Structure 1
């Protein structure tokens, strides 16, 4: 179940100086430089948290890892700031008549930063490796629409098997046969799981994930666990994203408040979100240069479908009751100071196809009386017992709105007496999460795509009834 709580439509970036990491039209300046001057050797410091997995693209599960993988690798396509699709490694992606098959032509001269050529089989092998359950890649389910996916779902099968729906008639041509027509496939390949891997990765995938070799605008330099990850500009990069600095160092912070304090003190160049405690004042802070624009992200609360009291008809009633207990407009206004909007869909308003009226969407409306009625009907099936814990990452920005959610549900229902429960990351990574938890999705594609099965498998969609 996903009780969509708040849809984040404002992606706020703070800068102490006008600094540019990659691909933005603004310029990188240093003290003493005039506006418009670019320091092409500047090392930009950016906030982050420790990634919950290594940096093998098909194993990346969180925004922290996504930030890094998408700078280290180029895929077939990327997206402009305006959402338009831009070919990166692909020269063309051509569908057949009903979009059930695609022919992908690669640009000539593609190479990884270690000099290894990138060809059609590079992609066929990387996608097959990710899709193969024997390889334990968390992003594998996104390949389920490619023919032959089910044949690779044997955990004891060959780890080197290739998806039957992929073929490479020559070094620059990749043919893809899908299980069904899919006109969104050219956008889907922009997902991080579709990024290519060099041959060295398969010799020791765990070691590769800690010291990745990519083909993107930056090269990996170093990783000090729980402290920082440093990337440097790849001088040999010839892709569509233009680098205007010498590198980026991602520093780990235990809280956004600590990162914000470093921005104010001049010890951090870029902060990609504003702590809730500073939302009312950051625009007027003289030492902070603030930028705000709509962003493709949303947050929701996911309740695993295997929890006691959250299965079958009883579970559907309890999910609806909890959803009706949340005053999303109040959370958006009082907690987020109007920087977000209440969710009406499982995506962000900036994404094509976003809807304000989904079937079953009435459960997103706050109604304390209806919530209590639904909870009472669930109790008639099986009386509630136990404590409902909500897990969230301590190093993220979820605590304030989770606090508001907990208070709202408790005041409306009296029980299940929900409680905050911090340990979170490992449970998600090993697919062992046993508590409701916030789900934050940063959408890379500008069009609506199906959620990966791995996400839907963690719960039942509340909005379907």
Structure 2
């Protein structure tokens, strides 16, 4: 099959704030905010996998494919063609005469070196796991430990330094061999972890993490980490999607603290914190400059099934789900920012997503009590621990969830916000239910399912929850091996039905993308994954 070129003619136009430059020239600059977190401490594509650094890299780099902001479907961009006859061996043909911002060629070798670097375990790249499907991935892992400062200690050296399933055929052609068929492979290739890198970047990875050498329409000028990040238009950019404004300035903020600067006119787009939501939507001027769209992040409850009763009992999981008044909680805590979830895949947001797959996501206190009784009740004199990240919004949401469970099922609870939440979850150190969230890395219903719940391990189940169902795993495998993407989507939908039957987790809410923007901007489109402004598509009034 070949990935269709869906939107080669996406319109791009001029934008933004006009400020004085030298002489009579004008410099149009867009000013935005970045969330200040440790995860945004790198702009190395192989190591960048959170919303804010992905937003920056989306205009600094061009990938093989890009995604249509309305349909989320991929269309070829740096790739001229992506094809396969068996879903296992893929041929990628790259457009000619493309360059990085240091004049190095964007060719097959530039992708191969980036992917091999990411796949090599001891490099400890955040996007390493995206190469698990490549033949030869296991031989590149070895055994190693990474401390809190990012220092890596290798205990067992990998037996390979390059993916055996990755071959440079010629300057413009890559051949990828997967370890098993995967019909959705081409869909993945617009993700940050698949961007190319210049050789100069790999020669000094630390420098590249601060000032990457991209192939996109903007180049990083300066990053004062923790303070601000500036990018200027690259005059020699050769791509079709070329914004006509000159610069982007990001200011780094903690949490929701950028709203006051937006109201003061210091930044051009953001969303209000919950306390300011009602004011914002009821202000005629502000609400006239609000854009909304379907979000993609699922917030859900996971269970430590590896502990046994009651968490491994499907009736207990149903009881927890039906005891939660999602609609009221969202309206009171995060109005306008979330919608109640009744499926494991965002409906309509990615191919294969449908609404209503979760029968037991409807608030029904009486049915919840009956399900709890069938599960044998809650252990007497025990308190339900609710484990979650340290985050003001998450704590408010899950306190309301805990209140709902306690009110409707009589189960006392205690919140456990933890700075080491992810380490504890990975080490199966939790004793109660846990707040979890998933943002898809590429637009396919499979990405909500297999990476979260599949394991291939009947004894231990998946890492975070201990879940395993052979029928679910078989359907994922059938979807991967399907002869075409439509058939694959149908198999993945059947796999979601298995999750629903098992109540493998409890969907709580999908995010709703909302952004308010300054009166200088127009044609504001939100990225369906990150919820951020599509910087290549902005126009100015």
Give the 3 Å change call, closer, same or farther, for CA 26–203 of structure 1 in structure 2.
closer
Counterpart selection for 1:49 from 35, 46, 66:
35
- In the alignment, which of 65, 68, 76 is matched to residue 56 of structure 2? 68
| In structure 2, distance between residues paired with 1:24 and 1:264 | 29
1:231 CA displacement: 2.3
The equivalent of 1:405 in structure 2 is 401
Bigger mean CA deviation after superposition, 325-334 or 105-114: 325-334
In structure 1, the residue matched to 2:500 is 463
1:99 aligned onto 2:87: yes
Q: Is the 8 A contact 1:398 1:438 kept in 2?
A: no
SS at match of 1:103: strand
What is aligned with 1:132? 120
Output the CA distance in 2 between the equivalents of 1:103 and 1:410: 55
2:303–2:311: 8 Å Cα contact kept in structure 1?
A: no
2:250 maps to 250
Tell me what 1:8 maps to: none
Q: Deviation of residue 117 (structure 1)?
A: 1.7
Distance 1:101 1:180 in 2: 9
Rounded Cα–Cα distance in structure 1 between residues aligned with 2:337 and 2:250: 25
Report the alpha carbon displacement of residue 109 of structure 1 after superposing the two structures with TM. Answer: 1.8
Q: Quick one: structure 1 residues 217 and 421, their matched pair in 2 at CA, closer, same or farther if it must change by over 3 Å?
A: same
| 2:126 aligned counterpart, secondary structure | coil
* Separation in 2, partners of 1:180, 1:388: 40
Classify 1:447/1:333 alpha carbon distance in 2 versus 1 (closer, same or farther; 3 Å). Answer: same
Q: Distance in 1 between matches of 2:407 and 2:398?
A: 14
Matched residue, 2:516: none
Residue range with higher mean Cα deviation, 239-248 or 452-461: 452-461
Relative to structure 1, is the Cα distance of residues 221 and 132 closer, same or farther in structure 2, using a 3 angstrom cutoff? same
Distance of 2:82 and 2:228 partners within structure 1? 37
Please say if residues 59 and 193 of structure 1, whose CA atoms lie closer than 8 Å, have aligned partners that are also in contact.
yes
Residue 31 of structure 1 and its aligned partner are, at CA, apart by 7.4
Answer yes or no: is the 8 Å Cα contact 2:346–2:355 preserved in 1. no
Shift of 1:192: 1.6
Q: Is the 8 A contact 2:88 2:181 kept in 1?
A: yes
1:394 aligns with 2:400: no
Structure 1 position 29, deviation (Å): 4.2
CA distance in structure 1 between the aligned counterparts of 2:272 and 2:57, rounded to whole angstroms? 23
Question: Unaligned 5+ residue runs, structure 1?
Answer: 1-22, 34-38
Aligned to 1:122: 110
Higher mean displacement: 171-180 or 217-226: 217-226
Partners of 1:344 and 1:364 within 8 A in 2: yes
TM-score between both structures, scaled by the size of structure 2: 0.69
Bigger RCO (CA 8 Å, 6+ sep): 1
Cα distance, 1:370 vs. partner? 3.9
CA deviation after TM superposition for structure 1 residue 388, in Å: 1.5
Greater shift, 109-118 or 23-32, is seen at: 23-32
Deviation at 1:92, TM superposition (A): 0.9
Once the two structures are TM-superposed, the CA of residue 170 in structure 1 deviates from its matched residue by: 0.6
Cα 1:175/1:263, change in 2 over 3 Å: same
Number of residue pairs aligned between Structure 1 and Structure 2 = 429
TM-score by length of 1: 0.79
| 2: CA distance, partners of 1:187 / 1:296 | 19
Deviation at 1:190, TM superposition (A): 1.3
Kindly report the root-mean-square deviation, in angstroms, between the aligned alpha carbons of the 2 structures. 3.5
Could you tell me whether the CA contact under 8 Å between 2:83 and 2:91 is conserved in 1? yes
Q: Please say if residues 57 and 192 of structure 1, whose CA atoms lie closer than 8 Å, have aligned partners that are also in contact.
A: yes
In structure 1, distance between residues paired with 2:303 and 2:400: 21
